[in-house]
Amino acid sequence: MISYFPISIYLVYLFCSITGALSLLKLNKKSAQVQIVGVQGVLTVTLFLTLFLSGLLQTGIIAILLKRPLMSAGNGLFLLIPLVLSSALIDRPNSLRSYFLKLRTGLYLYKTLSRASKYSILLYSMAMLVLLLLLIIGYPRGFEVTAYHLPIAVNFFRDKTLSVWDHAYMHAYPANMSLWIGFWLQILPEKVVSIVDLPFAIYLSYVVFVLAKMVGSDRNTAILLAIGILSIPIFGFSSIELGSDVAGVACLVAALVLALAGRRNDFYLALVSGLAAGLAYGFKSLHLVGSGLIGMLILLGFARQAEAGIRSWGSLDFGRALLFITGFLILAGPWLLRNWLEFNNPLYPIHFGRVFDFLGFASAPDFSLEERTYTQFEWVKKTLEWFFYPWVEWQFINQNFKHNSGLGAFFALTVPAAWFIWSWIIGMSAWHKFTKSDKPTFYAIWPGFVCYLIGTAIIIVWALLGDRQPRYLMGGIPFLVVLYGTLSNWASSKIKRLGYVMLCLTSTLMMIVLVITFMLRQGGHLQTLTIPTRSDYYEYPKVLDTLPSGAVVGNLAGRVWHYALFGSGLNNHVIPSTRMEELFFRNGHWVLDYDQIHKLGINYLFVEGNIKATSNKCLKLVEIGNIKINPYNKVPLTYPRFVYQLEGECLDDTLIIESVASGN
């Protein structure tokens, strides 16, 4: 039975979002008036991502409400036809001549850069090209990518709905990245899809450059900071995986850029800033913190461009704040509604204790922040060592220096120095403000002060949450990195030159670490002097690529195998390991319930390592494929992998799988 209450709410939301987008397209004509360098590009990318994802989000939610498979790339594009036509009527495309003029201007500006900036841009471009070529050698990679993002993407477009595929808490987060990946999986070869996160890396560099210029950096320093941000391992290595971290951070920084760019009459920029914040939340729900901070600063009047040296921070700016919230809900709303419908909690699995209990919002039975405080000890031995990180970064349990989670030399150079010096500057400015009101030094540092507030607040929230993995700090790092660029304005020429040299050295060093490490990893797949097949790359039995279309594979291994088990054509259906554990794992071994197995339609089982499995009734399993040696170096695998096929019934009462343990 269809519930019409949520449908009516969604129709109101749909109407508001479409009319809001139409208004945005109309107001975008004014964007040419924005004088700050680079903001026009941020506007364009934000609008593109809004249009790109809106159609998929709308049709995906309608599919949940009507319980029909309606979400597809075609339907999403069809829904956007009115918006695209309106855009064409309101803002006609620029002529080719204007694009050539912009290119000519860009080349002229490049010639005026310092030698260090030119070399850094060249190195950055070469690194991006090498990484692109290396990515095409293999297939999409990364633990979270193969465990969550890619399986969610496959199931979104297969089931044609935003409905959650696996009810384990990690699958309930917003999944803009899965929509992005899933779309490209429909039209590109699987190998090529590996590169679709690189545009977000380039976009992150771009928005960091724009923000650095807004804060007060000179052009050369801003370029070095924009390039250096990707040399930080958690950013660089995340860029070559199809994870959501870099995209989310880029959109969050874009939200602040647009908020800061607003002048007295540019109300529409607050709306677009909200759209960018909504995009950030859709990529990573943790950016709800950063988005809330930006919204609060807009409300308080902090995020408004100074005009003629006059400030009015004391007055609340409800108009811009309302526009920001509207933009945020246009793109975050579908995910909030999805989780409300499916989990009775719009922020699921997040649960704010008694407040959410009072509202009747459900909590996740498999999620507890209190139980995740141990994760920090993969990087430090004591909590106090975070004050010395990354100068102190232990290398135990083969976790650290953990290239995809560490911070590295560029971070160590920029963020600590910038934060301490800005803390002193803000303290002194506050002292002058309250003791010598005729010295408006507090206002002079306004853009940097906003970045300092947001970056520091995110660090504080990260420290209080308890799950202190460095990647959860990513949202605050760019806001603190750009502050380093302002230090040169107060330094002598010699110190300024030394700062340039150190920026170049640290960013170059860490970029080389990124490229060489990934080159060695991908190069290992070329030991046979051939491009690896999908089964060789992921090291699973080849038989998974030849199963009948629609085969259902039960995963008795781990989450990291979710994506691999779909097979080369992504034709297999996978029952995730979390679901299998919930149903069949009892007292340290597997108990395969006959009725549940058949109810789920499972006809194949994937096994890794030494396991023991029994059945409460008779199940006949036949081994149809295995892999026991590494396909590249021919070394026996520590944990061989097996595929079993379920065939009818047998005469025995109980089946025990011990073939892996016995080596059969």
DSSP 417-437: HHHHHHHHHHHHHHHHHHH-T
pLDDT of residue 31: 46
- The rounded distance, in Å, linking the Cα atoms of 220 and 209 is 10
Please list the rounded mean pLDDT of every run of 10 residues in the chain (664 residues). 48 57 52 60 86 84 84 68 54 53 62 76 87 86 88 91 85 91 88 90 94 88 90 88 92 93 72 93 93 90 52 67 90 91 86 79 73 73 76 56 67 89 80 54 68 92 82 91 84 77 87 86 71 87 91 91 91 91 84 85 89 77 88 85 80 50 36
pLDDT of residue 75: 66
pLDDT of residue 477: 94
- The rounded distance, in Å, linking the Cα atoms of 409 and 415 is 10
- The rounded distance, in Å, linking the Cα atoms of 54 and 62 is 12
* Backbone φ and ψ of 650, nearest 5°: -135, 180
- The rounded distance, in Å, linking the Cα atoms of 504 and 497 is 11
Provide the β-strand partners of residue 586.
589
Domain boundaries, the chain: 4-388, 534-662
Q: Which residues contact 584 (CB under 8 A, 6 or more apart)?
A: 590, 591, 592, 593, 596
pLDDT of residue 393: 66
pLDDT of residue 383: 78
Tell me if 193 sits within 8 A of 140, measured CB to CB: yes
pLDDT of residue 167: 79
Residue 589, SS3?
Answer: strand
> Reduced to 3 DSSP states, what percent helix, strand and coil does the chain have, rounded to the nearest 5?
65, 5, 30
Sign, Cα dihedral of 543, 545, 546, 549? positive
Which residue has tokens 């950055």? 124
Tell me if 301 sits within 8 A of 450, measured CB to CB: no
CA–CA distances in Å: residue 460 to residues 290, 381, 407, 455, 476: 12, 20, 18, 9, 10
Report the number of secondary-structure helices (H) and strands (E) in the chain. 27, 8
- The rounded distance, in Å, linking the Cα atoms of 276 and 273 is 5
Q: Which residues of 420-456 are buried (b: 16+ CB within 10 A; e: fewer)?
A: eebeebbeebeeeeeeeeeeeebeebbbbbbbbbbbb
By CB atoms closer than 10 A (0-12, 13-18, 19+), residue 35 is exposed
pLDDT of residue 56: 86
The token pair that represents 641 in the structure block: 């992998």
pTM: 0.87
- The rounded distance, in Å, linking the Cα atoms of 246 and 131 is 16
Helix axis angle, 198-215 to 477-487, nearest 10°: 40
pLDDT of residue 255: 95
